Structure 1
Amino acid sequence: MADTKLATFKCDADVWEAFKAKAEANKTNASALLKKFISSYLDGRIDLSQDEVKHLDISTIATKDELAALRQELLEAIERKFAA
């Protein structure tokens, strides 16, 4: 297992609570969302070189499990299409 690091930072309490609530409303949690953001930033899917983010739809950044599920759905749809 890879080494993990507990990261802590200061954030306005109201902002943090709103962030957690929005994450939960999108069926995730703050920790998973932050880890997804960090991975996406590091591999270049998120570019913050302009000092601001005009629009970032984090839901478009799929995890490996999400991609695997989409791949399976696609394969099943293709199979149904050509089985008919």
Structure 2
Amino acid sequence: MEAADVTLYNPDLRLVPWLQHLGCRTHRVIQQNLWWTFGYNAIGLGLAVAGLLHPIAAVVIMTLSSILVTGNAFRLRRTASPEALP
């Protein structure tokens, strides 16, 4: 169990497709969050270096970016529970 990637504590093997679905959704959300973060940093850094972004505006935008990334990650909580599977 210590070397396994996944351990099922329930003998119901119908949970395996649900677990795979959850893993795929998690991977997709991580990719979205990374792209959003890298995109924001690239644009924000370029504007800041050029002197086009006021420091207070950068703080506000960074806070909004963090809220967006966190909210995007919370979407995983809406993944259908294993009990909802047919």
TM-score, structure 1 normalization: 0.30
| Bigger-Rg structure (1/2) | 2
Larger relative contact order, structure 1 or 2 (CA cutoff 8 Å, min sep 6): 2
